[in-house]
Structure 1
Amino acid sequence: MTLLVEHVGFTTVQDAGRRGWAHLGVSHSGAADRGSFHLANRLLGNSTGAAVLESAGGVAVRATSDTFVVLTGAECDAALNDRPVSHCQPLLMRAGDLLRVSTVRHGVWMYLGVAGGIDGPEQLGSRSHDTLGNIVPLPLDNGSELEVGVLQGTPLGMDTPVALRDTERVGITAGPHGYMFRQDDLVDIFRQPWTVSGEPNRVGIRLMGPAVHRHFTDELQSFPLVRGAVQLTPAGELVVMLADHPTTGGYPVVGVVLPLDVDRLAQARAGARVTWQWRQV
């Protein structure tokens, strides 16, 4: 069984990512919105880490034999043989059927899962495309043919699609570099709203907000970064690390976003308002 990719758009293959390689400068990578990724596999009866297509739109695939697929994540305009299809509802594609996702309407990343998962070679234990590290086990081009694994479970639909949450009251914990700021300045960073700026990508999300003043001006030595780390740049912007983040950095980390809320930020488009809520861990 294969899927023929007739049009790629901005689409990559993603799974649960690659663990244990940060010491070599290799990011975890994997799906940008982990919740939507796992939902796609649950609805299809796949293993939890089965590879899917992650797309910002413009992707079209044709089935070479009968199979089930599902769309999760960002809300999008999608059609099977020119007939609109539902979100979070497994679809039976017959041999020769064409599924086209044209436009993402709300959110950034849409997930196209296929029963059995996308199969093929791995690099460092994963099929995920790392856009920063240029690790591409399964490159996609118009006309690419993707192998599909064996169906393991029974596809199940949902009565109501799972809608993306907004970015109000994003949970955040303290970062390691609070000593570089006056206490009032540090509180003000997360007391006021910030705004998503720039085009979405898989490496990090950039935020603009109130002016922030550092108490210390000493340069930091490079230190490890994790998904969700919030760095403050010299320009006074916040950058939240996403799936393909660098493994080290030199800007102060003023907070760390809770894992489930990183999914929310990964789906935020330019202009979205972000507010914060301090959490204890």
Structure 2
Amino acid sequence: MRVHATGPLALVQDLGRRGLSGVGVGRSGAADRGALRQLNRALANPDDAAAVEVTFGGLDVEVLDEGLWCCVTGAPGAVRVDGRDVGSHAVFFAEPGSRLVLDRPSAGLRSYLGVRGGVAADEVLGSRASDVLSGLGPAPLAAGDVLPVGTPGKRFPEVDSVTAPDLTGEVVLRAVRGPRDGWVEDVDALVASTWSVTERSNRVGMRLGGQTLHPARDQQLPSEGAWRGAVQVPPSGEPVLFLADHPVTGGYPVVAVVVDADVDRAAQLRPGDPVRFRWVEAP
């Protein structure tokens, strides 16, 4: 596939690098892991095959040489092949020379374009994931790039479409109390407030605005391990929810941890979207 336009950001992503946090390398990978897995199952790929993560539409690619079986999951929106809308969450065949364009999604933020055989970008430390914090993995896509496609397996897609998620309505993220919940004056203010996703959000973390959480201690916290879903409170009092490209350590208190199953939904929130939290018991 040859890239003609990328929109705000387009990255190659798989399920990330595993087992390397001890040497300072984060996992990274798709921000919405469920969407990537759904895509690969629809195309009869391995679950961790790489695809293109497209932020807020705008991707325009040309199919080269041989035709490709394709599917788009995640944030739903118009998917056009030579101007004809084939729909998101549908398996379709793109002929050689055709142009495939992803419009802005009608809801959500990140869409995933996959092809049968997977995107065969070069691996770095066992993964094709692009980590925007560390710079590991393939560079962000740019016009003129050519993406290689892997060799398909023996299985063929067995479905015509998959279920699109409902990314509208109020978002309430389940969370357990974090290891440093006593480092703010009132940690329950986290669940009592409605927060707004700010424009200072990216794949590293989602910064929340509208309220502030006030520190309860006038002291420094030594750096500790960090993980996807952790809610950290910096001195500004505006919580940050760590996403796929979070650092492996952090020095601000983690007052809550979002249930892993809900982090994918958080990754689909746009700047300006409201979000709430709800306490649940730790398993």
- Equivalent residue for 2:23? 24
Aligned to 1:128: 129
Aligned counterpart, 2:68: 67
Match for 2:182: what amino acid?
Answer: Y
In the alignment, which residue of structure 2 is the partner of 1:238?
A: 239
- 2:156 maps to 154
Deviation at 1:191, TM superposition (A): 1.9
* Cα offset, 1:214, TM superposition: 2.1
- CA deviations 1:196-244 (Å, max 9, x no partner) are 1115421100111333222211110111100000001211101000001
2:181 counterpart (178, 181, 188): 178
Please say if 1:220 is aligned against 2:224.
Answer: no
Q: TM-score by structure 2 length?
A: 0.92
Q: CA deviation at 1:160?
A: 4.7
Closer, same or farther in 2 for the Cα pair 1:61/1:178, shift >3 Å? same
Tell me whether 269-278 or 153-162 shows the greater mean CA deviation. Answer: 153-162
CA distance in 1, matches of 2:101, 2:14: 21
Question: One-letter code of the match for 2:208?
Answer: L
How far apart are 1:263 and its partner, in Å? 0.8
Structure 1's unaligned 5+ residue stretches are none
Higher strand share: 1
Amino acid at match of 1:210: Q
Residues 77-92 of structure 1 mapped to structure 2, 5 A cutoff: 77-92=78-93
Conserved 8 A contact 2:215-2:237? no
Cα deviation, 1:46-88, whole Å, max 9, x if unaligned, reads 0000000001122111112111100111122321100112111
Report the counterpart of residue 40 of structure 2 in structure 1.
Answer: 41
**Shift of the alpha carbon at 1:13?**
0.2
Distance in structure 2 (CA, Å) of the matches to 1:105 and 1:276:
24
Larger CA deviation: 162-171 vs 113-122: 162-171
Q: Kindly state the Cα deviation for residue 4 of structure 1 after the two structures are TM-superposed.
A: 1.6
Post-superposition shift, 1:195? 1.2
Q: Tell me which moved more, 187-196 or 43-52.
A: 187-196
CA distance in 1, matches of 2:174, 2:233: 17
TM-score after normalising by structure 1 = 0.93
Quote the sequence identity (%): 39
Cross-structure match for 1:15: 14
- Distance in structure 2 (CA, Å) of the matches to 1:208 and 1:196: 6
Aligned to 1:277: 278
| Superposed structure 1 runs of 4+ greater than 4 Å apart | none
The aligned runs of 1:136-147 (5 Å cut-off) are 136-137=137-138, 140-147=141-148
- Quote how far apart the aligned CAs of 1:273 are: 1.3
Match of 2:166 in 1: 163
Aligned to 2:112, the other structure's residue is in SS state strand
Indicate conservation of the 8 Å contact 1:121/1:138, yes or no: no
Which is further off, 27-36 or 188-197?
188-197
Change (3 A) 1:82 1:200: farther
Q: Secondary structure at the match of 2:111?
A: strand
Q: 2:191 — aligned with what?
A: 190
Q: CA deviation at 1:102?
A: 3.2
Q: Counterparts of 2:95 and 2:144 in 1: how far apart (Å)? A: 19
Structure 2: stretches of 5+ with no match in the other structure? none
Change (3 A) 1:160 1:41: closer
- C-alpha distance in 2 between matches for 1:262 and 1:166: 16
Residues in 2 aligned to 1:271 and 1:7: alpha-carbon distance in whole angstroms: 26
3-state secondary structure, aligned to 2:136:
coil
Instruction: Give SS of 2:121's match.
Output: coil
CA distance in 2: counterparts of 1:240 and 1:255, whole angstroms: 9
Equivalent pair of 1:45/1:115 in contact (CA under 8 Å): yes
Find the residue that maps to 2:256 and give its secondary structure.
Answer: strand
For 2:265, what is the secondary structure of its paired residue? helix
Change (3 A) 1:159 1:7: closer
Residues 157-166 or 256-265, more deviating: 157-166
SS of corresponding position for 2:109: strand
Post-superposition shift, 1:178?
Answer: 1.7
- Considering only aligned residues, what root-mean-square deviation do their CA atoms show, in Å? 1.7
